[in-house]
Structure formats: C-alpha cells, structure tokens
Structure 1
C-alpha cells in the first residue's frame, strides 16, 4: 500500500510538472508579444513604452474582476463601440478608418491592413497613442490626457504607478509574491478576516493578524508603489502599497518605518518596509494596547469603488511557497 501511494505521488508530480512548464512558457510568450507591441508604439509616438503598459495593465486588472467587461486578451485596453466608431455612426461595428474619422471616432488602422479593428491590439494601442499625443508626450501632459480619458483621479494614479513600476524594473512580469515576514522568525496567524471589532465603533476586521515579536522585519509582499505612509488612530504606523494587479496591500501596527522608505517609491517583493509593533488605538505615538503583531489587509479597486477581501488564503499560499 505504501509503495502504491508513493508511486501515485510520483506520477502526480510528473504529470503536473509539464503543465506548469507549459503555463510558464505561455506566459513568457504573452509578455514578449505585449512588450513588442508597446515598444513599437513607443517608436511610432515617442511616448515611452511603460505608459502603454501601465494603461493596458490597469484595464487588464479591471477585466479580471468586472462582469460587464470581456475577458483580457494580449492587449486588454477596452474601447466601447460608440467611442471607437463615433457616437453618431450608424454602423457601430465600423472598421473603415475613413468613415470612423468622419463620425469623430477614435478608431484607426494601426497595423496597416486597411481596417480599424477595436478587437485588434495593435489598432487599439495606435488609437490610444494618437489620443495621448494630442495632449503631448511629456509626463504632465500624459497625466492630463489620462484624466480626460478616465475622469477619475484614482485611475490616473494607478496607471502612472504601473508605468513607474515598469520603468523601474524594466520588465512586464511583476507577479512574484512573498510572505510578509521572513520565515526564519517565529510567528503565528489564523483567519480573522470579517471578525467583529468594537474599538472606534462597530466594524469588521479587514485583514489577518500575524503575531510576532517586536521589530521582526515586515516586507513588501509584492512589486508595488508606496501609496500611503503615516499614522492612523486604528492602525498606528502603517504603510499601503498598490501592486501591478491593482491590489492594495495594507500593513498596520508597525513599530516604525524602514529608514529609506518613501512615498511614491517602487518596491519589490522582500523590500523591508518596517517592523512588527503594537501601535495604534489612539493618537500618534500610542503603543502597547495589544500584543505585537502585523495587521495585513488586501483591497481591490474595480474602477468605481474599492473593497476589502480575505488575505488569509494568499498568505498561506505564499507561506507554503517558502519565500
């Protein structure tokens, strides 16, 4: 029986490994194709590739969580038919560049096949590139163009943050994750998301508490942009980092911040951002009202609103990965 169990385990491993290898190769090919398109648009418009990548990744994250948008493709920027063909165009599926232009649609032919196809990634990027260049190719004018396009400050900040990460790390694959505490330290945690909280009014616990000794290093779990750093009467000294998938990672009750941590900084998995503490539940400087621990929360933005979700399964996954 033991030999049979061992044989089945080995067989399962051998069967699973090629699947993972194939998935990895598929992802690598997708990143390569996307980067080629972004760099082609940079050559055509002089707008750096990472702005196109930032826009595409922002919309990719929306399409993964919004049921009113189609699933993401190689290029995931979604332009509605009425915007592409022109709001008064009687043919909302028009692919003729001339009639689209006559009806003031944004659609253009980006790959030279004579068609302006809103489902073709190269045509979509070319349309976005032309739109951006009408405002200018420098950073400030690109931000203005993005605000006019999305009409939402948070959307602009997320796109710009994505672009900053791509520029800083020079690659599209920024999906790596690690556990927030180094594995060599003692810690314990359980699923506490959704539990009732009474201090400061009735509310739910929007995270997982990881108990550890004072000053155990707290690390960024992902690539991301430091969006928030400061004090909150509930969370004490806290840091907020938004990753490339538009997930906001919240670290609270810190004993302080890493010396060189700055707002707007691009960080990578494993970057130390502070230490475990027991700050909060009072005015700035309050500490010691509870045992030292890291409160770790995760939030998702769908382009309209932001909400908390349970980080516990992710923490367990990163812990098992041994990072």
Structure 2
C-alpha cells in the first residue's frame, strides 16, 4: 500500500500537467456524440436524414446571437411562430400549441412543446420539413419556405453534403493553402488600397510563391464557384461548414476534374499559383505570381469580407506542428 501512494501522487500530478486543449477536445467530442445521438434519433422517427438536421443546426449555430436552448441544439424558432398567433400566454401544452397552428411539436413524449428543449426543437424542425417530403428536392423546398433566402438554403445543403460524405460532424482539421516545403511569403495586406477597376480595398491576403506551386483547400467544404473573374483571374470559391466562403484567386490552373459541387477536405489540391486576372479571360503576368486568399462570413442576412491573416498564421503553425 505504501508503494502505491507515491505512484498515485505522481499520476494525479501528471493529470494536472496535461495541456488544457486535451480536455477541450474530449469535451468537444462528447458534445458531438450527444448531438449525433439526437440527430439520428430524430431521423429515425421522421425519415429526414440526420445530416440535414445536423446542417441546419450548424448553420444556426453560426448565425444566432442567442439560442433558445442552453444545452446542445442551436436551432432557434421565433416564439410567435412556435406557439402560434393568438397563443399570447405561450402555453406549451401540445394541444394548446396545435390549436393555434403553432410550429412547436412534442419530441420527448411529455405532451409539451417546449421551445427550449433540444428534442422538441429538433423534432419540430424535422416535422416541418417532413410535411414537404423527404427527398433532396423536398428538403430544399422546405428550407426555402422557412428561410426565404437562397444563400441560407445553399449553405445548409452544402454542409449536409459534407456531413454525409464524411459520416460525422467532428470535422475540425485544417491546413495551410501552400505546401510548407515550398518557398512562399506573406504579410497582412487586408484592407490595403487597390486601383484596378476603381478605388477599392484589398479583401484578402496575398501569399507569394512560384508559378505552379500547389494550392490546397484549408477547410472542409463544397466548391461553390469556379471560373474566370476580371479581378481574380482563374479562381475558386469554397463554402465551409462554418458559413464562411473561401476565395482562392489568380490561379494558374485547376486540379483536373475539379468541378462545382465537389466536396473537399483540408489538404486537397484544388489548383496552382499563377498571376491571372486584371483583364479579360486569359490575361496573366500583370503582377508577380501569388495566391490571393480571401474569407467572407455570412450571418444569415448578409455577407462580408474579414481579415484572413490570423487564420492563415494559425493554420500555418498547426501544419508545422503536425
């Protein structure tokens, strides 16, 4: 027994020395597992595939300032819509909510439609979609009827596509857009003035590298746009699972076979560094070869550019430490 005491002391001491991120990762994995259990339970009841429910939840997590639930689910439904017009006292009885044609449903069998309960929230959203149908097209129509915004619908469908392909919501890997073994340089150029095409600001970070250096996807996402742009030359736009649009411009070319709608993951080659742009299709060589990398955020109402430099630095450090 005496020999065991020092060992136990060392073990406890070692646990205190473990980096905080290990605990954070474990907590995140536990939350993801609990969410997946809810998505799949609701999918089994309603026949709405789990990845659509997960995508809606993820979209709302990235757009809601405050969520109705303090637990797992971020989907937040307007109270008037949930309880029904006329149910001014917000009675949560399922019979009362139904009487006033409210959105809310009972997902956990307690005969209440509670707008703060995870099971009720998720089941209510799935029930709403199910009324339109369970096919890909039906779900897209139901989402349009709910959000009334093309970009919101497209983002949710893209997230669902990623979740379906990888079979999980635990997708936290990232990568730096240029392979680290190549020579490259960059600094924070977001917001700098640009003259071509009129006075405007630089909405991104320029990463200078040689012609033909591979360009990689930094995140999980779906290719939303591909082709020529007068400013960006040959460019690719990828929408990720965090409602962010990643813009890769001035490319020399694309990966063979890459097309709009393809799912990508961090590290996938999508093209190569070039100097295209500032003119009609085919224009090149008006500036040194580099990758213009831009990021845009959508909050469910509007989309705006933000500085990608801190993300690039973070992803570069993570790539070096792998």
Q: TM-score normalized by structure 2? A: 0.92
Instruction: Give the equivalent residue in structure 2 for 1:84.
Output: 82
Out of 293, 297, 300, the residue aligned to residue 300 of structure 1 is 297
Q: Distance in 2 between matches of 1:30 and 1:57?
A: 13
Q: In 2 relative to 1, CA 296–19 (structure 1 residues): closer, same or farther, beyond 3 Å?
A: same
Q: In 2 relative to 1, CA 14–46 (structure 1 residues): closer, same or farther, beyond 3 Å?
A: closer
Out of 215, 234, 243, the residue aligned to residue 237 of structure 1 is 234
* Structure 1 residue 254: Cα displacement: 0.2
Trace 1:174-189 onto structure 2 (pairs within 5 A).
174-189=171-186
Instruction: Give the equivalent residue in structure 2 for 1:40.
Output: 41
Three-state SS of the structure 1 residue aligned to 2:261 is coil
Q: In 2 relative to 1, CA 216–36 (structure 1 residues): closer, same or farther, beyond 3 Å?
A: same
Trace 1:149-298 onto structure 2 (pairs within 5 A).
149-298=146-295
Contact 2:69 2:118 in 1 (8 A): no
Q: Gaps spanning 5+ residues in structure 1: where?
A: 1-12
Q: Distance in 2 between matches of 1:231 and 1:85?
A: 48
Three-state SS of the structure 2 residue aligned to 1:28 is helix
* Structure 1 residue 282: Cα displacement: 0.4
Contact 1:253 1:276 in 2 (8 A): yes
Contact 1:175 1:244 in 2 (8 A): no
Instruction: Give the equivalent residue in structure 1 for 2:25.
Output: 24
Q: Gaps spanning 5+ residues in structure 2: where?
A: 1-13
Residue 126 (structure 1) aligned with residue 123 (structure 2): yes
Contact 2:243 2:297 in 1 (8 A): yes
Three-state SS of the structure 1 residue aligned to 2:63 is helix
The aligned length equals 307
* Structure 1 residue 14: Cα displacement: 8.3
Instruction: Give the equivalent residue in structure 1 for 2:114.
Output: 117
Dislocated runs of 4+, deviation >3 Å = 13-18, 68-73
Q: Deviations over 1:35-70 (max 9, x none)?
A: 00111111101111111011111101112xx4x666
* Structure 1 residue 133: Cα displacement: 1.1
Contact 2:55 2:156 in 1 (8 A): yes
Instruction: Give the equivalent residue in structure 1 for 2:311.
Output: 314
